[in-house]
Structure 1
Amino acid sequence: MSFKHLDHATLERWLGEGGVEIVDIRDPLSFSSGHIPGSRHLDNASLGQFIDATPSERPVVVVCYHGHSSQQAADWLCGQGYQEVYSLDGGFTHWQYHHPERFERDDGAGAS
């Protein structure tokens, strides 16, 4: 089983529907400066907790800067048994450009 590519328009629709886990693998400062609403930061320190808490049948969308590193992370999650994993094409940079009103910051600022 392998990951699938996801375009930002589909993710925007999914945000309104819920039922998808969005993980952002960028560095902590970039994540806190702005991320897709409802996403959580995922790194080596939080990976174990994510795997323990997230059922393998739950859809997972992986977000990075430009949509390259997320492909490797999505592939790895598939190898861990996740059945429906997506890499966001264009990453957060593309998302922020096309949806400047749809991001949030850890300090509570930003549109969402």
Structure 2
Amino acid sequence: MTAPTFQHLDAVTLERWLKDATPVTLVDIRDPSSFAIGHIPTSQHLDNQSVSALMHDAPAEQPVVVVCYHGHSSMQVASWLVAQGFDDVYSLDGGYSEWQLRFPAQVETSR
């Protein structure tokens, strides 16, 4: 039996989901200052301090999309989330860099 795994998601599909108001839990694992400078709208910063809240509060029926800088570290976190019991987990291919390049008008700041 094959263990469940995460899926890959491209920025265009995520943008469509957000435009269509598809329910999704969007987590950004970049460092706090990078997140503050710019992040994908509706995303929440995920780190060691906030992961327990995610585990407790994330709606089980919603997909979880993990965002990092370039789409590499997010794969590890997405695998970990699947191992923790999340069923519908995605790693954003190209990460925040790809998002910012494709959709510069769709970037929020925390400053």
TM-score where L is the length of structure 2: 0.93
Aligned equivalent of 2:28, options 9, 21, 24: 24
> Mind listing any 5+ residue stretches in structure 1 that lack a counterpart?
108-112
Alignment of 1:54-69 (within 5 A): 54-69=58-73
> Mind listing any 5+ residue stretches in structure 2 that lack a counterpart?
none
Aligned equivalent of 2:101, options 97, 101, 106: 97
- Corresponding position of 1:110: none
Among all aligned residue pairs of Structure 1 and Structure 2, give the percentage whose two residues are the same amino acid.
Answer: 56
Contact residue 64 and residue 70 of structure 1 kept, 8 A: yes
CA distance in 2 between partners of 1:68 and 1:95 (Å): 14
Report the CA distance between 1:58 and its aligned residue. 1.8
Alignment of 1:1-112 (within 5 A): 1-16=4-19, 17-107=21-111
Contact residue 67 and residue 87 of structure 1 kept, 8 A: yes
TM-score where L is the length of structure 1: 0.93
Secondary structure, in 3 states, of the residue corresponding to 2:49?
Answer: helix
Report the CA distance between 1:30 and its aligned residue. 0.2
